[in-house]
Chain A
Amino acid sequence: SQTIHQWPATLVQPVGSPLSLECTVEGTSNPNLYWYRQAAGRGLQLLFYSVGIGQISSEVPQNLSASRPQDRQFILSSKKLLLSDSGFYLCAWTRGAAEAFFGQGTRLTVV
């Protein structure tokens, strides 16, 4: 069966520090991978999606970047965090436009 791992679960980082969140998928190949951010009490905002290794599409211009170094690995990064980067970050995968599966999320607090 397929599983998705996302870590860390919580993270407190100072303003200006770097960020690296990792997401890996098991049990499938060539998944579409997604990073979402969910602000408190609001809907999901798509940040990045990837349909293959090295292929990254950005939906929102911002302080973040994403990379896909391996087929089932998706990394969200920042060189210098801003207070506004605080939020709940979710990784997800799909096969084409089929059912989406989510990781458990990372609660990022920038202080």
Chain B
Amino acid sequence: KQEVTQIPAALSVPEGENLVLNCSFTDSAIYNLQWFRQDPGKGLTSLLLIQSSQREQTSGRLNASLDKSSGRSTLYIAASQPGDSATYLCAASMDSNYQLIWGAGTKLIIKP
């Protein structure tokens, strides 16, 4: 059974720092992996989608990598800003069905 884990559960860093959020999964037979952002009391916004055949995806200051063999994905945020403060969730889509397996999220606080 696939399990997705995000560490740390919370992270607070000063503005301007580069940071990495981690996502690990137990079953490497994923179809894709997605990173989402959730602001308090709001829905989820898709940030990056990495297909299983890809190693990374980039969007602006965000870069997501995928290493299926080690069961890891990372979300790299460059030059962090207070507006980046949110909860970041990763989810793995499995080959066998259309369901997403979710991590519990990392709550990120960027201090001005």
A residues with CB within 8 A of B: 6, 32, 34, 42-44, 46, 49, 51, 59, 88, 90, 92, 94, 96-105, 107
Q: Is the interface of B mostly helix, strand, loop or mixed?
A: strand
Among B44, B49, B89, the residue within 8 A (CB) of A98 is B49
- Look across to chain B and name the residue whose beta carbon is closest to the beta carbon of A94: B98
The chain A residue sitting closest to B103, CB to CB, is A43
Check B42 against A32 for contact (C-beta < 8 Å): no
- Asked if B31 CB lies within 8 Å of chain A CBs, one says yes
Q: Give A36 to B43 CA distance when docked, in angstroms.
A: 11
- Does chain A have a CB within 8 A of B46? yes
How close is B92's CB to chain A, nearest CB, in angstroms?
10
Q: Which of chain B's residues has its CB closest to A59's CB?
A: B99
Q: 24 A-B contacts, Cβ less than 8 Å apart?
A: A6-B43, A32-B98, A34-B100, A42-B104, A43-B89, A43-B102, A43-B105, A44-B89, A49-B99, A59-B99, A92-B44, A94-B98, A97-B31, A97-B93, A97-B98, A99-B46, A100-B36, A100-B46, A100-B100, A102-B36, A102-B43, A102-B44, A102-B45, A102-B46
Instruction: Using A42-B104, A49-B99, A51-B98 as known contacts, say yes or no to A100 and B43 having CB atoms under 8 A apart.
Output: no
Interface residues in chain B, defined as those with a beta carbon under 8 Å from any beta carbon in chain A: 31-32, 34, 36, 41-46, 49, 89, 91, 93-95, 98-100, 102-105
Cβ–Cβ < 8 Å partners of B31 in chain A: 97
Structural contact, A97 and B32, CB atoms closer than 8 A:
yes
For the complex, give the distance between the alpha carbons of A110 and B88 in Å: 27
Q: Inside 8 A of A94's CB, which chain B residues have their CB? A: 98
The CA-CA distance from A77 to B34 in the complex, in Å, is 29
Q: A42-B104, A43-B103, A43-B104 are in contact. Are A107 and B41 (CB under 8 A)?
A: yes
Q: Which residues of A contact B98 (CB under 8 A)?
A: 32, 49, 51, 94, 96-97
The residue in chain A whose Cβ has the minimal distance to the Cβ of B94 is: A97
Contact of B42 among A42, A44, A96, A105 (CB under 8 A): A105
- Asked whether B102 lies within 8 Å of A103 as measured between CB atoms, the reply is no
In the complex, besides A97-B32, A98-B49, A100-B100, 8 extra interface pairs with C-beta distance below 8 angstroms are: A6-B43, A34-B100, A43-B89, A44-B102, A46-B99, A88-B41, A97-B95, A102-B44
